[in-house]
């Protein structure tokens, strides 16, 4: 369980003795000639690894809905991979890359925590191998080509009022959500409304995360719809029409290749791509997961936020696209977060409250059901804390026994892999259990409306869906323009099963509001935006950036 004596994440990371990346690669059967090192502790892997036959078994780490109490999904993912290797399993970790927006905002990085981190932590949480910068450059190259096309005569007849392609930046900057560009006269282009999205919400990020090789990357980039022509026909105009796809793919040549790093205990970790789970599909790249499956016996991967978001998209989008077969899942929770789901105030979460815990257990039940309906067996990973009382622990154990739910306690934050061995053995037991068969929750050939309603009812527990007039019009247009037979990527608040972030627990009697539906033809899915979810976050009144420092020798503090 968490102890107060554990140093900060960055202190632990800075004190660690890293293995040369060539040694980490050797654990996977790779030689120095098989990798391209970025310094001593990071490397790019060859794309051809993703084409090798899979030998490993795939385990997904997901969670209940996040709260300020903290659940620790990334930390558990790293700790589980470390624990599996400690008990003799050739495990490989596959994680998303962090975004600078949360790093300098409130959430922090995505390298795990405590003694369950991926290293080198500073580099991974900051510029890493430059993948995010390459994705932003490719995205903004297309943006520049669009406006240049308008300025140079607009031979394609692109309607400046119907351009759907935004610009991007990897920072929380609310002032860029809506803007007007092209002001200052004819030399500065055509004045029009524009918007920015954060890089993890970029369709280029989704494409990099879902493309299988360079040919697939180029084909997907060419299919990006940037807007439509004027008039009632609204003919799609694509990146391929603008001649942008080849130059974009050149910028993404190295970003397409997965990154090899290591856990705090020296095990292999493949960290690549970083779409957000609330506004994109929320999983690391297919080439990273396939590479891990070719190199390891058990692959631990993670999907963003709760089972209603990242896990659903992993199962319905990623596994369908990549023909993956997840065989087990880990559902991360804490007693503190379950009490908050049961109505306990944030200020009282360390006070024993069995009644609030009991009121929060239906929320856990909903997430367990979410995973099981995909045909994937699940174990609850309960992160222990010093504040957990004996009565609260017993309440959770009794509930799990009554609902035939496997449960394992973890303390990977304070004890690393050693604190995850109980969970590791539970995961191996799930993998050995017969009678499970993975299945998506909807048929991708069904109408867009039906797919959205299926997710809302089966995954969120909604009574139904209300579509705005804009969403209605766009669904009709998308189905008429080749986007009918694609999966759906739901953009929804991560804090609630509903579209209202304030409704915690297991709400009933609600309907989901879909405010807009748009196409991501290159990524290969349509996006349904629920409620007032935004694709460009803002900074808080006290962003993490103002608490970070660097001394005269370049030593960083305050990064988490």
Q: What is the DSSP letter of 106?
A: S
Q: Is 557 part of a structural domain of the chain?
A: no
Evaluate whether residue 558 is within a structural domain: no
Residue 423 shares a structural domain with residue 285: yes
Q: How much is the pTM?
A: 0.95
CATH number for 487: 3.10.410.10
My answer on whether 317 and 413 are in the same domain is yes
For the chain, how many structural domains are there in total? Answer: 3
Find, among 197, 208, 290, the residue nearest to 249 by Cα. 208
End-to-end CA distance of the chain: 20
The Cβ of residue 200 has, within 10 Å, a number of other Cβ atoms equal to 31
How many other C-beta atoms are found inside a 10 Å radius of the C-beta of residue 349? 22
Give dist(CA 133, CA 342) in Å, integer: 41
What is the residue-level pLDDT of the chain in tens, covering all 560 positions? 555 567 899 999 999 999 999 999 999 999 999 999 999 999 999 999 999 999 999 999 999 999 887 789 999 999 999 999 999 999 999 999 999 999 999 877 889 999 999 999 999 999 999 999 999 999 999 999 999 999 999 999 999 999 999 999 999 999 999 999 999 999 999 999 999 999 999 999 999 999 999 999 999 999 999 999 998 888 999 999 999 999 999 999 999 999 999 999 999 999 999 999 899 999 999 999 999 999 999 999 999 999 999 999 999 999 999 999 999 999 999 999 999 999 999 999 999 999 999 999 999 999 999 999 999 999 999 999 889 999 999 999 999 999 999 999 999 999 999 999 999 999 999 999 988 899 999 999 999 999 999 999 999 999 999 999 999 999 999 999 999 999 999 999 999 999 999 999 999 999 999 999 999 999 999 999 999 999 999 999 999 999 999 999 999 999 98
Residues 315 and 360 in one domain: yes
Domain shared by 20 and 98, yes or no: yes
What CATH number did the domain enclosing 211 receive?
Answer: 3.30.1510.10
* Judgement on whether residues 194 and 287 belong to the same structural domain of the protein: no
State the pLDDT at residue 240.
98
Q: What is the dihedral of CA 208, 212, 216, 220, to 10 degrees?
A: -40
> Structural domain of residue 162, as residue ranges?
131-251
Q: Which residues contact 48 (CB under 8 A, 6 or more apart)?
A: none
CB 469 within 8 A of CB 463: no
The DSSP line for 272-323 is -----TTTS--B--HHHHHHHHHH-SEEEEEBSSSIIIIIHHIIIIIHHHHT
d(CA 482, CA 496): 32
Closest to 406 in 3D by CA, of 331, 305, 489, 501: 331
For 121, residues 6+ apart whose C-beta sits below 8 A from its C-beta are: 9, 10, 13, 109, 111, 559
Helix (H, G, I), strand (E, B) or coil at 183: coil
Which one, of 111, 63, 118, lies nearest residue 383 by Cα?
63
Residue 164 lies in a domain: yes
| Nearest partner of 137 among 204, 225, 200, 219, judged by Cα | 204
80 close to 300: Cβ distance less than 8 angstroms: yes
Last residue of a domain, one of 185, 220, 251: 251
Q: Is residue 443 part of a domain?
A: no
Same domain, 313 and 425: yes
Task: Measure Cα distances from 295 to 286, 347, 421, 424, 476 in Å.
Answer: 14, 46, 22, 19, 44
Whole-number pLDDT of residue 560: 83
* Both structure tokens of 49: 């690894």
Specify if 2 maps to a domain. no
Which residue, 216, 234, 251, sits at the end of a domain?
251
Tell me, yes or no, whether 484 lies in a domain.
yes
Query: Same domain for 305 and 387?
Result: yes
Looking up tokens 């205990």 gives: 265
Residue linked to tokens 């918007």: 195
CA distance 6 to 546: 24
d(CA 527, CA 491): 7
Contact present, 7 and 219 (Cβ < 8 Å): no
Query: Which CATH number fits the domain that encloses residue 399?
Result: 3.40.50.300
Pairing outcome for strands 525-530 and 511-520: antiparallel
Q: Are residues 101 and 208 in the same domain?
A: no
- Domain co-membership, 143 together with 231: yes
Same domain, 293 and 326: yes
Query: Residue holding tokens 């084409």?
Result: 51
48 lies in a domain? Answer: yes
Tokens of 99: 């975004």
322 and 275: one domain? yes
**C-alpha radius of gyration, the chain, whole number:** 23
330 and 412 assigned to the same domain = yes
Q: Is residue 81 part of a domain?
A: yes
Query: Torsion angle, CA of 426/430/308/483, rounded to 10 degrees?
Result: 150
Question: Where a domain ends, among 251, 272, 299?
Answer: 251
pLDDT at 2: 56
- Who's near 322: CB < 8 A, 6+ residues apart? 210, 212, 286, 289, 290
């Amino acid at each position: 369980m968490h102890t107060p004596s554990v140093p900060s994440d960055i202190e632990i990371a800075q004190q660690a003795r890293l293995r040369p990346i060539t040694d980490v690669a050797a654990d996977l059967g790779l030689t120095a000639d098989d990798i391209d090192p970025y310094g001593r502790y990071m490397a790019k892997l060859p794309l051809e690894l993703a084409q090798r036959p899979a030998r490993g078994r795939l385990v997904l780490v997901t969670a209940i809905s996040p709260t300020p109490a903290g659940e620790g999904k990334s930390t558990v993912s790293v700790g589980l991979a470390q624990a599996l290797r400690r008990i003799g399993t050739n495990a490989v970790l596959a994680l998303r890359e962090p975004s600078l927006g949360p790093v300098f905002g409130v959430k922090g990085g995505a390298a795990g925590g405590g003694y369950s981190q991926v290293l080198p932590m500073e580099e991974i949480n900051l510029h890493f191998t430059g993948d995010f910068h390459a994705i932003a450059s490719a995205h903004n190259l297309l943006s520049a080509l669009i406006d240049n096309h308008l300025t140079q005569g607009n031979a394609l007849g692109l309607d400046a009022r119907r351009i759907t392609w935004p610009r991007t930046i990897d920072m929380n900057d609310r002032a860029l959500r809506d803007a007007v560009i092209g002001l200052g006269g004819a030399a500065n282009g055509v004045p029009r409304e524009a918007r920015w999205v954060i890089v993890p919400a970029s369709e280029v990020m989704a494409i990099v995360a879902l493309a299988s090789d360079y040919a697939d990357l180029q084909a997907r980039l060419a299919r990006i719809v940037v807007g439509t022509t004027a008039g009632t026909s609204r003919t799609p105009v694509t990146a391929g029409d603008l001649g942008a796809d080849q130059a974009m793919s050149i910028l993404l040549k190295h970003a397409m290749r997965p990154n090899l790093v290591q856990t705090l205990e020296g095990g292999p970790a493949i960290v690549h791509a970083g779409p957000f789970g609330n506004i994109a599909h929320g999983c690391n790249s297919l080439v990273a997961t396939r590479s891990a499956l070719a190199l390891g016996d058990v692959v631990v991967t993670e999907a963003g936020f709760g089972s209603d978001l990242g896990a659903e998209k992993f199962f319905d989008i990623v596994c369908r696209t990549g023909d993956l077969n997840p065989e087990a899942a880990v559902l991360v929770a804490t007693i503190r977060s379950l009490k908050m789901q049961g109505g306990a105030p944030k200020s009282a979460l360390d006070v024993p409250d069995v009644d609030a815990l009991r009121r929060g257990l239906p929320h856990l039940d909903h997430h367990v059901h979410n995973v099981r309906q995909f045909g994937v067996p699940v174990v609850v990973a309960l992160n222990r804390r010093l504040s957990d009382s004996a009565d609260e622990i017993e309440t959770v154990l009794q509930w799990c026994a009554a609902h035939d739910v496997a449960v394992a306690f973890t303390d990977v934050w304070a004890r690393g892999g050693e604190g995850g061995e109980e969970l590791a053995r539970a995961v191996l037991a799930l993998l050995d259990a017969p009678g499970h068969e993975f299945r998506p929750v909807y048929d991708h050939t069904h109408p867009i409306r039906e797919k959205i309603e299926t997710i809302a009812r089966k995954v969120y527990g909604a009574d139904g869906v209300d579509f705005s007039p804009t969403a209605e019009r766009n669904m009709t247009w998308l189905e008429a323009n080749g986007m009918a037979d694609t999966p759906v990527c739901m953009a929804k608040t991560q804090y609630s099963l509903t579209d209202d972030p304030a409704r915690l627990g297991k709400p009933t009697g609600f309907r989901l509001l879909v405010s807009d539906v748009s196409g991501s033809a290159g990524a290969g899915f349509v996006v349904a935006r629920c409620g007032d979810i935004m694709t460009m976050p803002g900074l808080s009144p006290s962003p993490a950036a103002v608490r970070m420092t660097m001394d005269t020798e370049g030593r960083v503090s305050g990064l988490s």
